[in-house]
Amino acid sequence: MSLRTRLALVIALLAFLPNLVLALTLGILGAGWWLPLFLWLLLLALVSGLVGYFLAQGLLRPLEELTRALAYLSLKEGPVSELRLPRPQEPPPQEIALLRDRFEELLQRLRGLMEAREAFYGALAHDLKTPLLSAIRTLAYLERADGLGKERRVELLQGLKGELARALELLENLLALSRLEARSPARETLNLRALAEDLLLRYQEEAKRRGLALEVEGAGLARGERLLVERALANLLDNALRHARSRVRIRVAEGALAVEDDGPGLPLPLEALALPFRQGSGNRGQAGLGLYTAKRVAEAHGGRLGAEESPLGGACLRLELSPATSF
């Protein structure tokens, strides 16, 4: 049953019932009036129904106008930035005006989200294009350089490997963010110490090349999706390797992982550094995406990404997850 029908019935009953009670009372008190009273009640029912119908029409007219405006928005083609609710033909009641304001706020939020997404993908295209172009130029140079010595060739190949690794890291972070948007993380019990040791083995060669010592201490369990937690920890570890002077350490605790180094520390608050594709004072870079991904992974697991003072003197980023005992 539609809202209009319900409203019309309520108005009709409110108009008809008092007259029905009055008519029945008069019929009981005055014998022989039943036929005129019956005809009178039929007339009252008809009039009450018509009054209810027309009053319901008038009361629901502003709501129907808002419904048509929303249908117009759903059918209109073009960018989200140009979506606007049509102006009402007459001043709506206070409740409908408030509802229109809420829809306008929703549209404004949607426009902001779409603008942020466009900027996000624009920055992504910029950052992904840079290492790929560099790799293509390196390959083109290697193709032409017949007399290239071994030392120079190895140097160029290492640079090519680094550029492709940057592109791969970008894609892995985007894949992790895509998983987080599509569904909630799977839940399994994770041995955080074993996870950290496996990851350190993967970064051992890079750390040796940079002259850094990698350490892990502590133990603990957590509940979460292994691939997402590995991605978040890899981002923190990669960030520490870039800034450390001599040491990087992973501290494992119950439901948490902390990555610390002996570098210069965080140049800005973590909230600013964890913005996607932002580094320092407005320069775009993929480090911001890495910290943003780690932050989103922590939040999706019921935790948070925080910054602490490092005993090593540099930065310390703590990835908090759901402890295994919380399930």
> CA nearest 218: which of 243, 246, 187, 195?
195
Q: According to the model, what pLDDT value does residue 280 have? A: 43
State the average pLDDT for the chain: 80
Q: What's the pLDDT tens digit per position in 117-128?
A: 776 677 677 677
For the beta sheet containing 322-323, the strands, ordered from the edge strand earlier in sequence to the opposite edge, are 188-191, 221-224, 322-323
Q: What is the spatial distance between Cα 163 and Cα 119, in angstroms, rounded to a whole number?
A: 23
| Residue 124, both tokens | 């992504």
For residues 49 and 19, the answer to whether their CB atoms sit within 8 Å is no
Q: What is the spatial distance between Cα 229 and Cα 97, in angstroms, rounded to a whole number?
A: 46
With H, G, I as helix, E, B as strand and everything else as coil, classify residue 323: strand
Alpha helices in 76-191 (DSSP H): 94-144, 150-182
User: Which residues touch 142 (CB under 8 Å, ≥6 apart)?
Assistant: 148, 153, 156, 157
For residues 211 and 246, the answer to whether their CB atoms sit within 8 Å is yes
- Specify the long-range contacts of residues 275-281, CB closer than 8 Å, at least 24 apart: 276/120, 276/123, 277/120, 277/123, 277/124, 277/127
Q: According to the model, what pLDDT value does residue 326 have? A: 52
Better-predicted residue by pLDDT, 263 or 45: 263
With H, G, I as helix, E, B as strand and everything else as coil, classify residue 138: helix
Q: What's the pLDDT tens digit per position in 185-236?
A: 888 899 999 999 999 998 888 899 889 999 999 999 999 999 899 999 999 9
Q: According to the model, what pLDDT value does residue 308 have? A: 87
Least confident of 40-44, 152-156, 285-289: 285-289
> CA nearest 50: which of 82, 23, 12?
12
Q: According to the model, what pLDDT value does residue 285 have? A: 44
Least confident of 73-82, 127-136, 239-248, 261-270: 73-82
User: Which residues touch 218 (CB under 8 Å, ≥6 apart)?
Assistant: 193, 251, 252, 253
Q: According to the model, what pLDDT value does residue 262 have? A: 92
- Residue with structure tokens 């140049």? 267
Confidence of residue 80 (pLDDT cuts 50, 70, 90): low
Residue 261 has pLDDT above 90, yes or no: yes
